[in-house]
Amino acid sequence: MEVIVQKTPADMSRAAAREVANVLNAKPNAVLGMATGSTPLGLYQELVRLHKRGELDFSHVTTFNLDEYVGLPITHPQSYHQFMHENFFRHINIPPQNIHIPSGTTNNYPAFCAWYEQRIRDAGGIDLQILGIGSDGHIAFNEPGSSLSSRTRLKTLSKQTIDDNARFFERRDDVPVYAITMGVGTILDARRLVLVASGKGKAKAIAQAVEGPVTSMVTASAIQMHREATVIVDDAAAAGLEMRDYYEFIYAAKPSAPKS
Ligand code: F6R
Protein backbone atom coordinates (compact mmCIF):
# COMPACT_ATOMS: atom_id res chain seq x y z
CA MET A 1 0.00 0.00 0.00
CA GLU A 2 1.24 3.47 -0.85
CA VAL A 3 0.60 6.21 1.72
CA ILE A 4 0.94 9.80 0.54
CA VAL A 5 0.85 12.56 3.15
CA GLN A 6 0.01 16.03 1.84
CA LYS A 7 -0.01 19.29 3.78
CA THR A 8 -3.57 20.50 3.17
CA PRO A 9 -6.92 19.11 1.96
CA ALA A 10 -6.35 21.04 -1.30
CA ASP A 11 -2.99 19.29 -1.81
CA MET A 12 -4.69 15.97 -1.04
CA SER A 13 -7.35 16.69 -3.68
CA ARG A 14 -4.79 17.64 -6.31
CA ALA A 15 -2.74 14.49 -5.63
CA ALA A 16 -5.90 12.34 -5.95
CA ALA A 17 -6.92 14.14 -9.15
CA ARG A 18 -3.49 13.32 -10.62
CA GLU A 19 -4.14 9.62 -9.93
CA VAL A 20 -7.50 9.81 -11.74
CA ALA A 21 -6.00 11.81 -14.62
CA ASN A 22 -3.20 9.24 -15.06
CA VAL A 23 -5.77 6.47 -15.39
CA LEU A 24 -7.88 8.44 -17.89
CA ASN A 25 -4.85 9.43 -19.96
CA ALA A 26 -3.80 5.79 -20.22
CA LYS A 27 -7.35 4.52 -20.78
CA PRO A 28 -9.88 7.12 -22.03
CA ASN A 29 -12.77 4.65 -21.63
CA ALA A 30 -11.87 3.80 -18.04
CA VAL A 31 -14.48 2.73 -15.52
CA LEU A 32 -14.36 4.90 -12.39
CA GLY A 33 -15.84 4.10 -9.00
CA MET A 34 -17.13 7.25 -7.30
CA ALA A 35 -17.55 8.22 -3.65
CA THR A 36 -19.67 10.97 -2.11
CA GLY A 37 -19.29 12.97 1.13
CA SER A 38 -17.29 16.07 2.01
CA THR A 39 -13.83 14.60 1.44
CA PRO A 40 -13.88 14.03 -2.34
CA LEU A 41 -15.49 17.42 -3.09
CA GLY A 42 -12.11 19.08 -3.71
CA LEU A 43 -11.06 16.17 -5.90
CA TYR A 44 -14.19 16.58 -8.05
CA GLN A 45 -13.58 20.33 -8.29
CA GLU A 46 -10.05 19.66 -9.47
CA LEU A 47 -11.24 17.13 -12.08
CA VAL A 48 -13.84 19.66 -13.32
CA ARG A 49 -11.11 22.30 -13.55
CA LEU A 50 -8.89 19.98 -15.62
CA HIS A 51 -11.87 19.16 -17.85
CA LYS A 52 -12.72 22.86 -18.39
CA ARG A 53 -9.08 23.48 -19.35
CA GLY A 54 -9.43 20.78 -22.00
CA GLU A 55 -7.08 18.39 -20.20
CA LEU A 56 -9.58 15.69 -19.24
CA ASP A 57 -12.24 14.12 -21.42
CA PHE A 58 -15.04 12.06 -19.86
CA SER A 59 -16.94 11.25 -23.06
CA HIS A 60 -15.92 7.57 -22.95
CA VAL A 61 -15.84 7.17 -19.18
CA THR A 62 -18.29 4.96 -17.26
CA THR A 63 -18.93 5.47 -13.53
CA PHE A 64 -20.34 3.43 -10.68
CA ASN A 65 -21.10 5.08 -7.35
CA LEU A 66 -20.43 3.27 -4.11
CA ASP A 67 -23.71 3.83 -2.34
CA GLU A 68 -27.04 5.58 -1.88
CA TYR A 69 -29.39 6.19 1.04
CA VAL A 70 -32.47 3.99 1.09
CA GLY A 71 -35.73 5.89 0.89
CA LEU A 72 -34.46 9.17 -0.57
CA PRO A 73 -35.85 9.96 -4.02
CA ILE A 74 -33.17 10.95 -6.53
CA THR A 75 -34.41 14.57 -6.34
CA HIS A 76 -33.83 14.77 -2.55
CA PRO A 77 -31.11 17.38 -1.87
CA GLN A 78 -29.17 14.89 0.29
CA SER A 79 -29.45 11.94 -2.07
CA TYR A 80 -26.16 10.85 -3.54
CA HIS A 81 -27.76 11.17 -7.00
CA GLN A 82 -28.15 14.91 -6.36
CA PHE A 83 -24.70 15.17 -4.82
CA MET A 84 -23.02 13.62 -7.85
CA HIS A 85 -24.95 15.61 -10.43
CA GLU A 86 -24.54 18.93 -8.61
CA ASN A 87 -20.89 18.52 -7.70
CA PHE A 88 -19.53 16.61 -10.65
CA PHE A 89 -21.54 15.11 -13.49
CA ARG A 90 -23.26 18.28 -14.67
CA HIS A 91 -19.89 20.00 -15.02
CA ILE A 92 -18.25 17.38 -17.26
CA ASN A 93 -19.03 15.68 -20.58
CA ILE A 94 -19.92 12.18 -19.37
CA PRO A 95 -22.85 10.62 -21.31
CA PRO A 96 -25.77 10.22 -18.85
CA GLN A 97 -26.22 6.56 -19.82
CA ASN A 98 -22.68 5.85 -18.57
CA ILE A 99 -23.53 6.96 -15.01
CA HIS A 100 -24.56 4.33 -12.45
CA ILE A 101 -25.68 5.14 -8.92
CA PRO A 102 -27.42 2.56 -6.71
CA SER A 103 -31.16 3.10 -6.39
CA GLY A 104 -32.46 3.98 -2.95
CA THR A 105 -36.06 3.54 -4.05
CA THR A 106 -36.21 0.21 -5.85
CA ASN A 107 -38.97 -2.18 -4.82
CA ASN A 108 -36.65 -5.19 -4.97
CA TYR A 109 -33.28 -4.60 -3.30
CA PRO A 110 -31.75 -8.08 -3.75
CA ALA A 111 -32.59 -8.02 -7.49
CA PHE A 112 -31.26 -4.48 -7.86
CA CYS A 113 -28.02 -5.35 -6.05
CA ALA A 114 -27.45 -8.41 -8.24
CA TRP A 115 -28.10 -6.25 -11.35
CA TYR A 116 -25.63 -3.59 -10.13
CA GLU A 117 -22.91 -6.19 -9.63
CA GLN A 118 -23.64 -7.58 -13.11
CA ARG A 119 -23.48 -4.09 -14.66
CA ILE A 120 -20.01 -3.61 -13.12
CA ARG A 121 -18.88 -6.94 -14.59
CA ASP A 122 -20.41 -6.10 -17.99
CA ALA A 123 -18.53 -2.81 -18.01
CA GLY A 124 -15.29 -4.77 -17.61
CA GLY A 125 -14.81 -4.07 -13.89
CA ILE A 126 -13.76 -0.87 -12.15
CA ASP A 127 -10.36 0.52 -13.15
CA LEU A 128 -10.04 3.00 -10.31
CA GLN A 129 -12.22 3.21 -7.22
CA ILE A 130 -12.24 6.45 -5.23
CA LEU A 131 -12.91 5.91 -1.52
CA GLY A 132 -13.48 8.04 1.55
CA ILE A 133 -13.40 6.66 5.07
CA GLY A 134 -15.93 6.99 7.87
CA SER A 135 -14.85 7.92 11.39
CA ASP A 136 -15.91 4.36 12.30
CA GLY A 137 -13.50 3.02 9.68
CA HIS A 138 -16.08 2.20 7.04
CA ILE A 139 -15.51 2.25 3.28
CA ALA A 140 -18.67 2.89 1.27
CA PHE A 141 -21.33 2.02 3.87
CA ASN A 142 -19.62 -1.19 4.97
CA GLU A 143 -20.08 -0.62 8.67
CA PRO A 144 -18.15 -2.45 11.41
CA GLY A 145 -18.87 -6.16 11.19
CA SER A 146 -19.41 -6.18 7.42
CA SER A 147 -18.01 -9.25 5.74
CA LEU A 148 -14.75 -8.50 3.98
CA SER A 149 -16.02 -10.47 1.00
CA SER A 150 -19.44 -8.77 0.90
CA ARG A 151 -21.09 -7.70 -2.36
CA THR A 152 -23.58 -4.93 -3.11
CA ARG A 153 -26.44 -5.14 -0.63
CA LEU A 154 -28.61 -3.31 1.86
CA LYS A 155 -26.88 -2.22 5.10
CA THR A 156 -28.01 -0.64 8.34
CA LEU A 157 -25.94 2.46 9.13
CA SER A 158 -24.05 2.56 12.42
CA LYS A 159 -25.02 5.10 15.09
CA GLN A 160 -21.65 6.75 14.52
CA THR A 161 -22.36 7.21 10.79
CA ILE A 162 -25.86 8.53 11.47
CA ASP A 163 -24.35 11.04 13.94
CA ASP A 164 -21.61 12.02 11.47
CA ASN A 165 -24.02 12.50 8.57
CA ALA A 166 -26.66 14.35 10.60
CA ARG A 167 -24.77 17.56 9.68
CA PHE A 168 -26.22 17.31 6.16
CA PHE A 169 -29.85 16.98 7.34
CA GLU A 170 -32.17 19.30 9.24
CA ARG A 171 -32.66 16.82 12.08
CA ARG A 172 -30.77 13.69 13.15
CA ASP A 173 -34.03 11.76 12.74
CA ASP A 174 -34.06 12.65 9.04
CA VAL A 175 -30.88 10.64 8.36
CA PRO A 176 -31.87 7.39 6.64
CA VAL A 177 -31.11 4.28 8.69
CA TYR A 178 -30.43 2.06 5.66
CA ALA A 179 -28.26 2.35 2.62
CA ILE A 180 -27.52 0.30 -0.45
CA THR A 181 -23.78 -0.12 -0.79
CA MET A 182 -21.13 -1.91 -2.78
CA GLY A 183 -19.58 -4.61 -0.62
CA VAL A 184 -15.97 -4.79 0.54
CA GLY A 185 -15.48 -7.65 -1.93
CA THR A 186 -16.89 -5.51 -4.75
CA ILE A 187 -14.46 -2.73 -3.84
CA LEU A 188 -11.46 -5.08 -3.62
CA ASP A 189 -12.22 -6.28 -7.17
CA ALA A 190 -11.39 -2.81 -8.54
CA ARG A 191 -8.00 -2.71 -10.27
CA ARG A 192 -6.84 0.30 -8.30
CA LEU A 193 -8.01 1.97 -5.09
CA VAL A 194 -7.46 5.58 -4.06
CA LEU A 195 -8.63 6.41 -0.55
CA VAL A 196 -8.72 10.07 0.52
CA ALA A 197 -9.06 11.43 4.05
CA SER A 198 -8.65 14.85 5.61
CA GLY A 199 -9.09 16.39 9.04
CA LYS A 200 -8.27 15.22 12.56
CA GLY A 201 -11.63 13.45 12.83
CA LYS A 202 -10.24 10.81 10.46
CA ALA A 203 -6.83 10.34 12.12
CA LYS A 204 -7.82 7.35 14.25
CA ALA A 205 -9.68 5.57 11.44
CA ILE A 206 -6.73 6.11 9.07
CA ALA A 207 -4.23 4.76 11.60
CA GLN A 208 -6.41 1.69 12.15
CA ALA A 209 -7.00 1.14 8.43
CA VAL A 210 -3.36 1.55 7.39
CA GLU A 211 -1.42 0.19 10.36
CA GLY A 212 -3.91 -1.86 12.34
CA PRO A 213 -4.90 -5.47 11.78
CA VAL A 214 -7.15 -6.38 8.86
CA THR A 215 -10.53 -6.68 10.52
CA SER A 216 -14.19 -6.43 9.66
CA MET A 217 -14.45 -4.03 12.61
CA VAL A 218 -12.60 -1.46 10.44
CA THR A 219 -13.61 -2.35 6.92
CA ALA A 220 -11.16 0.15 5.39
CA SER A 221 -8.37 -2.10 6.72
CA ALA A 222 -9.33 -4.55 3.95
CA ILE A 223 -7.51 -2.35 1.45
CA GLN A 224 -4.27 -3.77 2.94
CA MET A 225 -5.18 -6.87 0.94
CA HIS A 226 -5.24 -4.94 -2.35
CA ARG A 227 -2.16 -4.87 -4.58
CA GLU A 228 -2.73 -1.36 -5.96
CA ALA A 229 -4.05 0.78 -3.13
CA THR A 230 -3.02 4.38 -2.49
CA VAL A 231 -4.05 6.29 0.63
CA ILE A 232 -3.81 10.08 0.30
CA VAL A 233 -4.21 12.03 3.53
CA ASP A 234 -3.68 15.58 4.70
CA ASP A 235 -1.51 16.46 7.67
CA ALA A 236 -4.34 16.26 10.22
CA ALA A 237 -5.60 12.85 9.06
CA ALA A 238 -2.00 11.53 9.16
CA ALA A 239 -1.64 12.46 12.85
CA GLY A 240 -2.06 8.90 14.15
CA LEU A 241 0.31 7.20 11.67
CA GLU A 242 3.32 5.77 13.49
CA MET A 243 5.23 5.10 10.26
CA ARG A 244 4.65 8.52 8.73
CA ASP A 245 8.39 9.27 8.28
CA TYR A 246 8.79 5.99 6.43
CA TYR A 247 5.90 6.80 4.03
CA GLU A 248 7.38 10.23 3.37
CA PHE A 249 10.81 8.70 2.71
CA ILE A 250 9.31 6.27 0.19
CA TYR A 251 7.33 9.01 -1.54
CA ALA A 252 10.39 11.27 -1.81
CA ALA A 253 12.43 8.40 -3.29
CA LYS A 254 9.73 7.45 -5.81
CA PRO A 255 10.80 9.69 -8.74
CA SER A 256 14.30 8.13 -8.78
CA ALA A 257 13.14 4.50 -8.52
CA PRO A 258 13.93 2.26 -11.53
CA LYS A 259 10.93 2.30 -13.88
CA SER A 260 11.39 -1.20 -15.29
C1 F6R B 1 -19.85 7.87 0.53
C2 F6R B 1 -19.05 6.85 1.21
C3 F6R B 1 -18.65 7.01 2.64
C4 F6R B 1 -17.86 8.29 2.88
C5 F6R B 1 -17.48 8.41 4.35
C6 F6R B 1 -16.76 9.70 4.65
O7 F6R B 1 -20.08 7.51 -0.80
O8 F6R B 1 -18.75 5.89 0.61
O9 F6R B 1 -17.86 5.91 3.01
O10 F6R B 1 -16.72 8.29 2.09
O11 F6R B 1 -18.61 8.32 5.15
O12 F6R B 1 -17.60 10.79 4.40
P13 F6R B 1 -17.06 12.28 4.50
O14 F6R B 1 -16.11 12.46 3.34
O15 F6R B 1 -18.28 13.15 4.35
O16 F6R B 1 -16.38 12.41 5.81
61 pocket-lining for ligand 1 (C-beta < 6 Å): no
Is residue 87's pLDDT more than 90? yes
Written as one letter, the residue type at 141 is: F
**How do residues 60-77 score in pLDDT, each as one tens digit?**
999 999 999 999 999 999
pLDDT of residue 256: 95
**Predicted pLDDT at 260:** 79
- Phi, psi dihedrals of residue 103, rounded to the nearest 5°: -85, 130
Name the residue type at position 125: G
Instruction: Evaluate: CB of 130 within 6 angstroms of ligand 1.
Output: no
Residue 131 main-chain phi, psi, to 5 deg? -135, 145
Q: How much is the pLDDT for 209?
A: 98
What's the mean per-residue pLDDT of the chain?
A: 97
pLDDT tens, position by position, 187-202: 999 999 999 999 999 9
DSSP state of 136: T
Query: What's the CA-to-centroid distance between 84 and ligand 1, angstroms?
Result: 13
Q: Rounded distance, CA 182 to CA 117, Å? A: 8
Cβ(3) – ligand 1 distance below 6 Å:
no
Residue 161 has pLDDT above 90, yes or no: yes
* Residue having the nearest C-alpha atom to atom 5 of ligand 1: 134
pLDDT of residue 195: 99
- Beta-bridge partners for 142: 139
Residue 167 alpha carbon to ligand 1 centre in Å:
13
Catalytic machinery residues: 67, 136, 138, 143
Q: What is the pTM of this model?
A: 0.98
**Per-residue confidence at 140, pLDDT binned at 50, 70, 90?**
very high
Cα–Cα distance measured from residue 176 to residue 154, given in angstroms and rounded to the nearest whole number: 12
Whole-number Å distance, alpha carbon 259 to ligand 1 midpoint, is: 34
pLDDT surpasses 90 at 182 = yes
Question: 38 in ligand 1 pocket by Cβ < 6 Å?
Answer: yes
Asked whether the beta carbons of 92 and 51 are under 8 A apart, the reply is yes
Mean of pLDDT values over 2-17: 98
- pLDDT tens profile 203-259: 999 999 999 999 999 999 999 999 999 999 999 999 999 999 999 999 999 999 998
Note the pLDDT of residue 259. 85
Is a pLDDT exceeding 90 seen at residue 132? yes
